[in-house]
A and B are shown apart, each in its own frame.
Chain A
Amino acid sequence: MPSHPKLAAEFVKNKERAHWHDQALWFVRSKRDKAAQQIPEWELLREQASKIKSYTVSHLPDLLEEFERNATARGVQVHWARNATEHNEIVHGLLKKHNVTRVVKSKSMLTEECHLNPYLERHGIEIIDTDLGERIVQMQHMPPSHIVMPAIHMKKEEIGELFHEQLGTEKGATDPQYLTEAARQHLRQKFIEAEAGITGVNFAIAETGGFVVCTNEGNADLGTSLNKLHIACMGIEKLIPRAGDLSVFLRLLARSATGQPITTYSSHFHGPAPGAEMHIVLLDNGRSEISGSDEFRRSLNCIRCAACMNTCPVYRRSGGYSYSNTVPGPIGSILGPAKDPKANSTLPFACSLCGSCTDVCPVKIDLHHQLLTWRKELRVKGLLPFSKRLSMKMMSWMMQAPGMYRFVGKMARSIVPYLPRFMLYNRLNDWGKQRELPIIPKQSFREWMKQNHDDK
């Protein structure tokens, strides 16, 4: 997999776009701040959310069984999948049993994680993403670049061009209102024709056996109310113990995600409609592994609000695709290596340790601490990126020889300020990328101490 620095470099080549992307996400982050400030007990809510999720993870097997019992009692059929392959087979099996060839799906990062779309397409099933942003990237045959705003990296001119080609909108049209209307007509047709609806799950409730799906567009509801088969796909960590816990999470989720007081639709499904079938697929896919790790267990608290990516200075400037992971940004940089440390070894280094993610996370995940821990783990596993390995070796060699350290410092102070730019800002110096190096002081700290304190 291409490394983060390499892909990020590709993204920042277009300075204007990188800046625009940064601003777009910062706008969302600011909306989050305003929404949070309107709730006096915001911090108290975050604490409760964190406690509820920690309780869930520490009682996960019992709660999963409780969920299955209660869901089954309501006529929901529960399936278990160890990995993506099993997940896709279960979904395909259900569609086949009902002779379904046209499916509408509402946004679900879990099915992205499993690459469900290409799998079903290979089996001759049309699967249409119905969240507008997801539909846009699906038309491009690309994955989402953000977990809440899948097409945040695209300009309206590009979307206009795409719609012109695929939906027959006027050439050159870029008005979001006009383009959305075209998508509405196109997707309504798909909703009407579909024979089954697939949704993700935002929260599943052990106590009641029901689950909740949140959307702004109403696509999950249209996709599931017009036909007789609803398949919901969820990661096992999406569970919460009690229905009342939703009061905490629904207050936090949309405010953290987009700054809205709540999503337009927060739909609670407790059993199939008369004459219909409802299935739920519980997926592990590495989650049980994470729950066994004292260091990274807390990452399972995540409710996928995306606040950590909206605030992350690196994500904002390098774009979601630079992470080459279904979930990008700070939380993705923790989950990615947990699944495949080798393929995702550069992600924990795509972090400036500014801690902004930890500040905004509604479930109080200590994101930047975990990222730091990942760096140590990767070193132990021998998976440090080469550039880090080399510079750290040189550093440790120098640190072990104080005379050498002093000499190198002195040389740097007297030589570096006079070096031509090409010698400083080149590919050997990662620190000189996209930024100016600090002005080098004339004296070392040691020299300064000597002059100002030692004599006195």
Chain B
Amino acid sequence: MTTSKNEILSKLRSQSVPKTELPDLQSIELSSQWVRYENPTEQFAEILASVGGQCIPVKNVDDVNQRLSELPAYQEAKNVCSQIAGCGQPNVSIPEITDPHDFENIDFAILPGKFGVAENGAVWISNAGGPARTLYFLSQHVALLVPASEIVNNMHQAYQKLEFAENGFGTFMSGPSKTADIEQSLVIGAHGARSLIVFLVEESF
């Protein structure tokens, strides 16, 4: 509907709106004031816990496996997916799935996260948007593996790391799905994951 487009744009262009400046968010005056933490990892863990998630620092994938085996949600899981080699005991193979609906009954998914943000306990995840994207939201329980060295202080540092050239989809995920729409009572597990554990892994995986 190009007439609509032209009409909207020409109406906007016909107005004399005083032009203002865009602030440079990376300038030193500003960036020197963005919050930083003495121990970003500790801050990350604390905030994640406050929004209903859990942060567990570990050495390597073996440690993750150990911790998973102690977890009731993992023990009880019938259908498990993993996108991390050697992590968990998956019984549903991700690459074989072409229709995201086939992930409907996934109880536990072990997935990669790129980095964490200390100020709000969020983990950045990103992918090309194939069926596997659904796993982050449709699975009953989610565990994310994030390199321990990849915790930034604040959102400004986070966006400096982000590029949108490659993947069509990315999200900051901060804790499990939740709602407070019934009389402001917080309920964990609205539509998405009922629990979220972030493993900060020291060795590369």
Contacts from A to B (Cβ < 8 Å) = 24, 27-28, 39-41, 44, 48, 51-52, 54-55, 57-61, 64-65, 74, 79-82, 86, 90, 130-133, 136, 149-152, 154-156, 159, 176-177, 179-181, 183-184, 187-188, 191-192, 208, 210, 216-219, 221-222, 225-226, 236, 241-248, 250-251, 258, 260-274, 276, 282, 284, 288, 291-292, 297
Contacts and interface: CB of A to CB of B under 8 A. Distances in A.
Contacts of A266: 122, 171-172
Interface string B154-190: 1110111010100111111111111111111101011
B85 interface: no
Contact of A41 (B35, B101, B130, B179): B35
A216 B190 contact: yes
Nearest to B196: A264
Q: Which 3 pairs of residues, A with B, have the shortest CB-CB distance?
A: A218-B192, A273-B129, A133-B181
Interface in B108-127: 117, 119-122
A258 B191 contact: no
A268 B179 CA distance: 21
Given A192-B101, A217-B190, A264-B175, A274 B136 contact: no
B11 A288 contact: yes
A271 B169 CA distance: 8
Given A267-B171, A269-B169, A218 B137 contact: yes
Interface in B129-154: 129-130, 133-134, 136-138, 154
A248 B25 contact: yes
B63 interface: no
Nearest to A288: B11
Contacts of A210: 164
Given A80-B1, A180-B182, A216 B177 contact: yes
Given A191-B191, A236-B8, A274 B128 contact: yes
B164 A243 contact: yes
A49 B172 CA distance: 20
Given A218-B190, A247-B158, A61 B9 contact: yes
Contacts of A180: 179, 181-182, 187, 189-190
Given A179-B182, A260-B51, A267-B171, A80 B192 contact: no
Given A217-B178, A273-B168, 11 more contacts: A130-B191, A149-B184, A217-B179, A217-B190, A218-B190, A242-B22, A260-B51, A261-B120, A265-B172, A270-B167, A284-B11
Interface string B64-94: 0000000000000000000000000000000
Interface stretch (B13-21, B54-62, B197-205): B13-21
A27 B183 CA distance: 11
Nearest to A157: B183
Classify the interface of chain B: helix, strand, loop or mixed. loop
Interface residues of B, number: 77
9 contacts: A51-B23, A90-B1, A218-B177, A221-B171, A222-B138, A244-B25, A264-B175, A265-B192, A268-B170
B184 A291 contact: no
B164 to A, nearest CB: 5
B33 interface: yes
B96 interface: no
B16 to A, nearest CB: 8
A430 B103 CA distance: 61
A81 B11 CA distance: 13
A105 B159 CA distance: 28
A267 B138 CA distance: 15
Contacts, number: 250
Nearest to A35: B120
A61 B12 contact: yes
Given A52-B22, A82-B4, A264-B175, A288 B12 contact: yes
Contacts of B5: 80
Contacts of B121: 261-262
Given A40-B35, A61-B12, A273-B130, A218 B193 contact: yes
B100 A268 contact: no
Contacts of A152: 184
A209 to B, nearest CB: 9
Given A44-B30, A250-B155, A132 B21 contact: no
Contacts of A184: 189-191
B169 A241 contact: no
Given A177-B187, A225-B129, A264-B177, A86 B12 contact: no
- Residue from A40, A149, A243, A244 whose CB has the most chain B CB atoms within 10 Å: A244
A132 B179 CA distance: 7
A25 to B, nearest CB: 9
A221 B182 contact: no
- Residue from A57, A79, A156, A250 whose CB has the most chain B CB atoms within 10 Å: A250
B104 interface: yes
Contact of A217 (B1, B129, B191): B191
